[in-house]
Amino acid sequence: MKKFTLIVMLVALIVLPIAAQDTTTDTTTDTTTPSNAVTAFFVACADRAVLNFTGEMLVNFDIYYQVFNAAGGLGTPLTNLRRVPVSGTFAVSDQVTYNDGAQLLAATFGSARVIVARETDSSRIDFDFTIDD
Protein backbone atom coordinates (compact mmCIF):
# COMPACT_ATOMS: atom_id res chain seq x y z
CA MET A 1 0.00 0.00 0.00
CA LYS A 2 2.89 2.38 0.71
CA LYS A 3 4.28 1.75 -2.78
CA PHE A 4 0.89 2.50 -4.37
CA THR A 5 0.56 5.76 -2.40
CA LEU A 6 4.13 6.74 -3.32
CA ILE A 7 3.50 6.05 -7.02
CA VAL A 8 0.24 8.08 -6.97
CA MET A 9 2.03 11.01 -5.32
CA LEU A 10 4.88 10.91 -7.85
CA VAL A 11 2.45 10.82 -10.76
CA ALA A 12 0.51 13.73 -9.24
CA LEU A 13 3.72 15.75 -8.86
CA ILE A 14 4.54 15.18 -12.51
CA VAL A 15 1.06 15.66 -14.03
CA LEU A 16 -0.23 18.64 -12.01
CA PRO A 17 2.52 21.10 -13.01
CA ILE A 18 2.08 20.11 -16.66
CA ALA A 19 -1.68 20.58 -16.44
CA ALA A 20 -1.21 23.98 -14.82
CA GLN A 21 1.18 25.04 -17.58
CA ASP A 22 -1.25 23.92 -20.27
CA THR A 23 -3.97 26.25 -18.99
CA THR A 24 -1.72 29.34 -18.92
CA THR A 25 -2.08 31.74 -21.82
CA ASP A 26 0.10 34.65 -22.78
CA THR A 27 -1.95 37.80 -23.30
CA THR A 28 0.96 40.23 -23.75
CA THR A 29 1.57 41.82 -27.11
CA ASP A 30 4.77 43.22 -28.45
CA THR A 31 3.95 46.67 -29.77
CA THR A 32 6.32 49.54 -30.27
CA THR A 33 5.32 53.13 -30.61
CA PRO A 34 7.20 55.40 -32.99
CA SER A 35 9.68 57.62 -31.20
CA ASN A 36 12.45 60.13 -31.78
CA ALA A 37 16.10 59.03 -31.64
CA VAL A 38 19.15 61.29 -31.94
CA THR A 39 22.88 60.63 -31.76
CA ALA A 40 25.22 63.63 -31.58
CA PHE A 41 28.94 64.20 -32.16
CA PHE A 42 30.24 67.50 -30.77
CA VAL A 43 33.51 69.35 -31.43
CA ALA A 44 34.17 72.59 -29.51
CA CYS A 45 36.78 74.74 -31.21
CA ALA A 46 38.26 78.03 -29.96
CA ASP A 47 35.73 80.25 -31.78
CA ARG A 48 33.04 77.88 -33.06
CA ALA A 49 31.34 74.53 -32.51
CA VAL A 50 30.42 71.75 -34.91
CA LEU A 51 27.66 69.26 -34.17
CA ASN A 52 26.80 66.22 -36.26
CA PHE A 53 23.38 64.65 -35.70
CA THR A 54 22.00 61.34 -36.94
CA GLY A 55 18.80 59.51 -36.13
CA GLU A 56 15.07 59.24 -36.69
CA MET A 57 12.66 62.12 -36.13
CA LEU A 58 8.88 62.11 -36.03
CA VAL A 59 6.81 64.72 -37.84
CA ASN A 60 6.58 68.10 -36.05
CA PHE A 61 9.78 67.60 -34.00
CA ASP A 62 13.20 69.21 -34.48
CA ILE A 63 16.58 69.40 -32.76
CA TYR A 64 17.59 72.44 -30.72
CA TYR A 65 21.00 73.02 -29.13
CA GLN A 66 23.00 75.58 -27.19
CA VAL A 67 26.76 75.58 -26.56
CA PHE A 68 28.30 76.43 -23.15
CA ASN A 69 31.83 77.14 -21.88
CA ALA A 70 31.80 74.43 -19.20
CA ALA A 71 31.07 70.70 -19.02
CA GLY A 72 27.57 69.34 -18.47
CA GLY A 73 25.68 72.20 -20.12
CA LEU A 74 26.82 74.56 -17.36
CA GLY A 75 28.67 77.86 -17.48
CA THR A 76 28.08 80.78 -19.77
CA PRO A 77 26.20 80.21 -23.03
CA LEU A 78 28.48 80.70 -26.02
CA THR A 79 25.59 80.59 -28.51
CA ASN A 80 21.89 81.29 -28.61
CA LEU A 81 19.49 78.37 -28.76
CA ARG A 82 19.68 77.07 -32.34
CA ARG A 83 17.12 75.00 -34.25
CA VAL A 84 18.13 72.27 -36.68
CA PRO A 85 15.14 71.18 -38.78
CA VAL A 86 15.15 67.42 -39.48
CA SER A 87 12.61 64.84 -40.59
CA GLY A 88 12.46 61.06 -40.89
CA THR A 89 15.86 59.38 -41.08
CA PHE A 90 18.51 62.09 -41.05
CA ALA A 91 22.23 62.87 -40.92
CA VAL A 92 23.06 66.57 -40.65
CA SER A 93 25.95 68.77 -39.56
CA ASP A 94 25.65 72.27 -38.11
CA GLN A 95 28.41 74.77 -37.42
CA VAL A 96 27.98 77.86 -35.25
CA THR A 97 30.31 80.74 -34.40
CA TYR A 98 30.23 81.83 -30.76
CA ASN A 99 28.34 85.03 -29.86
CA ASP A 100 30.16 88.38 -29.69
CA GLY A 101 33.57 86.92 -30.56
CA ALA A 102 33.62 84.72 -27.44
CA GLN A 103 36.47 82.24 -27.19
CA LEU A 104 36.75 78.81 -25.58
CA LEU A 105 40.15 78.63 -23.91
CA ALA A 106 42.53 75.82 -24.82
CA ALA A 107 42.42 72.75 -22.55
CA THR A 108 38.97 73.64 -21.20
CA PHE A 109 35.68 71.85 -21.63
CA GLY A 110 32.84 73.03 -23.77
CA SER A 111 29.44 71.38 -23.87
CA ALA A 112 26.23 71.38 -25.83
CA ARG A 113 22.75 70.85 -24.47
CA VAL A 114 20.75 69.05 -27.15
CA ILE A 115 16.95 69.17 -27.01
CA VAL A 116 14.40 67.32 -29.12
CA ALA A 117 11.19 69.34 -29.02
CA ARG A 118 8.21 70.46 -31.08
CA GLU A 119 9.29 72.38 -34.15
CA THR A 120 7.08 75.32 -33.21
CA ASP A 121 7.85 75.39 -29.47
CA SER A 122 11.26 74.50 -28.01
CA SER A 123 9.76 74.35 -24.52
CA ARG A 124 7.64 71.28 -25.45
CA ILE A 125 10.52 68.85 -24.94
CA ASP A 126 10.45 65.17 -25.87
CA PHE A 127 13.94 64.54 -24.41
CA ASP A 128 17.28 66.26 -23.95
CA PHE A 129 20.91 65.43 -23.19
CA THR A 130 24.29 67.12 -22.87
CA ILE A 131 27.52 66.26 -24.64
CA ASP A 132 31.00 67.47 -23.66
CA ASP A 133 34.20 68.12 -25.59
pLDDT digit string (tens) for 78-117?
999 999 999 999 999 999 999 999 999 999 999 999 999 9
CA distance 130 to 133: 10
Query: Is the per-residue pLDDT at 33 higher than 60?
Result: yes
Task: Work out the mean pLDDT of the chain and round it to a whole number.
Answer: 86
pLDDT digit string (tens) for 60-77?
999 999 999 999 999 999
Residue 24: per-residue pLDDT = 46
Query: Is the per-residue pLDDT at 5 higher than 60?
Result: no
